[in-house]
Amino acid sequence: MSEREQQMKQDQTVRAGTAESSDPPAAERAEQAAGTNEAAPLVAGADVNPSRIDQTAAEEGETPAPGAEQREGDGVSEKARQTVTPEKQSDSSKQADAPKGGDESGSAAEGATAGAAAKNEAGVKAADSADADKEAKRKAAAEARAARAAAKAKADGDGGESAQPKPPSPNQPLLDRLVDILKREVGEDAVESAWINPIGDIPTVSLRAERLVDCARVLRDHPELQLNYLRNVAGVDMETHMEVVYHFISLNNKINYSIKVKTDREHPSVPSVSEVWSTANWNEREIYDLLGIDFPGHPDLRRILMPDDWVGYPLRKDYVPADPEV
C-alpha cells in the first residue's frame, strides 16, 4: 500500500469516529423523544404522533426502544384525562348531585306526610273539643231550665213563704168603676169576670155574649168612660172555646180598656158591634174568614182574605187543608 492510500484510510477512520461520537445511537434518541413526549402533553397539551419515533428509528436502522409506544399511549391517555370540557364537568356535577337531590325529595315527602298527619290529628282534636263544648253548653242550658222551673214551682206553690203579695195596680180603681157602671146600666149578669191585665196594667172584663151590644153602647156613651175608639178586634181559638177580644181607648181620657166575650167552639157566634163602632166591620169579617165565628147583625159578613170557595178556617188549631200541597 502506498503512502497516499494509507493517508486516505486514516482520514476515513477519523471521520467515522467523529460521526459516531457526535450522533447518539437511535435507541437513545428514541428514549429522549419518548421522555419529551411524556412531558409535552402535560405542559403544552400538544398532540403526540408515535409514528414519528418509529420513522426516525427506521431511518437510523434502529428498532424503537421497548415501551416507547406504551409510554406514548400513556402520555396521550394522561392528556385525555386532564383535558375535560365544561359540558363533561357539568354532567359529572349533575351525576354527583343526583343522589343528594333524591335524598332531599325523599325528606320533603316525609316532611309533607308528617305535616298532613299532624294537621289531621289537630283537626280531630278540634272537632272533639267543639263537641265537648256543645255538650257542656247543652248541659248548662238544661240545668238553667230546670232551675227556672224549680224556682217557678216554688213561687207558685202553696208553701211559698217567701212569696210577697203583689201590690195593687194603680188602675184597679178604674176597673172597679167600669164593673160598677156596666152592672148598674146593663144588669148584674152582664159581667162574668174582671181583672187587671199585667201587660200594660189594662182593666179587662169578660162579658156575656147576649149582653154585648148593650154594654157597647154604655162603653161608648157613658161620660166617665167615653170609649169612642175601637183600636182592634181579635179572635182566639182556646181549643175548648172561642174568644173575641176588643181593645178600646178613650181619646178624651187617654185610658185603655179591654173586653172579652166567650163563645161555643162548635157553633161560635158573637153579636156584631159594627153599628156601634164602624171599625169593627172589617175586623169581624177577618175573624169570620179565618176562625169561622159568626157575627149576627153584620151588614156584609163574608170572606175578606180567603177565596169564597175556600174550605175550612186556617187559624183554627184543628184546621186540616183540603189540599196538602197548598
Which of 113-117, 131-135, 245-249 bottoms out in mean pLDDT, i.e. has the lowest? Answer: 113-117
8 Rama class: left (phi>0) / alpha (psi -120 to 50) / beta: alpha
Q: What share of the chain is helix, strand, coil (3-state, %, to 5)?
A: 55, 15, 35
Mean pLDDT of the chain: 76
- Cell 445511537 locates to 25
Q: Quick: pLDDT tens for 267-281.
A: 999 999 999 999 999
Tens digit of each residue's pLDDT (9 = 90 or more) over 5-15: 777 777 777 66
Amino acid occupying residue 256: N
DSSP secondary structure string, 179-245? Answer: HHHHHHHT-TTSEEEEEEETTTTEEEEEE-GGGHHHHHHHHHH-TTT---EEEEEEEEE-SSSEEEE
Q: Which of 301, 203, 186, 286 is nearest to 244 (CA)?
A: 286
Domains of the chain: 3-82 (no CATH), 172-291 (3.30.460.80)
10 Å CB burial of residue 126 (0-12, 13-18, 19+) is exposed
Tell me the average pLDDT across 203-215.
Answer: 97
